[in-house]
Amino acid sequence: MILQGKCALISGGSRGIGRAIAELYYKEGAELFIMSRHADQLKAAAAEIDCQHEGRVHALPCDVSCKESVDEAFAEIKAQGKSIDVLVNCAGVNLRGPLETMPLETWQKVLDINLTGTFLLTQNVFEMMKAKGGGKIVNIASLMSEIARPTISAYVASKGGVKMFTKAIAIEWAKYNIQANAIIPGYIETELNAPLIADEKFNQFIINRTPAGRWGKPEEIAATALFFASKGADFITGQVLAVDGGILSSL
């Protein structure tokens, strides 16, 4: 199995894309820490993912936007004698609204979770990965790392930052054999996008705008996250791969 003996930390791992990545990494033999702010939902998700009841999935409640919460989470990982080989930064929120009336709190919350959260988790895995002679960082970026649409300015800014931060990690830590890459999901059937799917006009717009003619599935992102976490990607770093049904390649 591709991730046998590896320990992965997946933020946002209880639902959506992060949950699909957790399930695939589990199937490939990894031990997992899954993170989210909601302890009950997280505990239930960990038990569901650990379907072979091997105690290989640990629920680690954490608010990635809060340094103290992240420090506490890593203290717990160390207290369990574990060390992270693969970090997947998937935790993300999208709070929508017109730019001209967007409250500063909304802007701050989106940037703090999507971008600063990625920074805090990434900084915390460095010593673990350096000590083990290397590691993998997989960041979930977005179509909005490359293009924008109205009413999601904070999210666009945060995901543009995630893309470029991935390259910054890659060039600084390549000498430690730590690879960092990003995935750009297209429009994927997740809770985050539930309001969009329910909006028939927007739903049809996405189907028409996507050359593949459909929304993507979380599992289709997970497959790429598995590749980036594998030995086969040891010489790939600082890359951004769109799994978007062709959207970014089409007018």
Taking the complex as a whole, the smallest distance from the CB of residue 195 to ligand GCO amounts, in Å, to 8
Considering the rule CB under 6 A, would residue 143 count as an interface residue with ligand GCO? yes
Asked if residue 61 binds ligand GCO (CB under 6 A), the reply is no
- Nearest distance, CB of residue 111 and ligand GCO, angstroms: 15
Q: Which helix (H) or strand (E) holds 57?
A: strand 57-59
Does residue 243 interact with ligand GCO by CB under 6 A? Answer: no
118 binds ligand GCO (CB under 6 A): no
By C-beta, is 58 or 159 nearer to ligand GCO? 159
Report whether 114 contacts 141 (CB < 8 A).
no
- Out of 78, 149, 194, 246, the residue judged to bind ligand GCO by CB under 6 A: 149
Binding residues with ligand GCO: total (CB under 6 A): 14
To which residue do tokens 């709070």 refer? 95
Residues 179-208 that bind ligand GCO (CB under 6 A): 185-187, 192-193, 196
| Rounded distance between C-alpha atoms, residue 111 and residue 119, angstroms | 11
Can residue 89 be called a binding residue for ligand GCO (CB under 6 A)? no
Residue 138 or 178: the one with the smaller Cβ distance to ligand GCO is 138
The question of whether 176 is a catalytic residue gets the answer no
Q: Give CA separation, 65 vs 70, 110, 118, 230, 233, in Å.
A: 8, 9, 8, 28, 29
152 belongs to the binding site for ligand GCO (CB under 6 A): yes
DSSP state of 145: G
* Residues counted in the chain: 251
**Which one of 2-10, 66-74, 140-148, 212-220 is the stretch in contact with ligand GCO (CB under 6 A)?**
140-148
In 3D space, the residue among 131, 119, 184, 118 whose CA is nearest the CA of residue 7 turns out to be: 131
Give 162-231 as a DSSP string: HHHHHHHHHHHHGGGTEEEEEEEE-SB-SGGGHHHHHSHHHHHHHHHHSTTSS-B-HHHHHHHHHHHHSG
The kind and range of the H/E element at 87 are: strand 86-89
Nearer to ligand GCO, 152 or 169 (CB): 152
Q: How far is residue 250 CA from its own chain's centroid? A: 25
Closest to ligand GCO by CB, 142 vs 181, is 142
Binding piece for ligand GCO, criterion CB under 6 A, among 29-37, 118-126, 138-146, 166-174:
138-146
Indicate whether 142 belongs to the interface with ligand GCO (CB under 6 A). Answer: yes
Among 25, 26, 155, 187, the active-site one is 155
Compute the distance between CA of residue 2 and CA of residue 123 in angstroms, rounded to an integer. Answer: 25
What residue has token string 């990625």? 118
Residues that bind ligand GCO (CB under 6 A): 94, 96, 142-144, 149, 152, 155, 185-187, 192-193, 196
- Active-site residues: which are they? 155
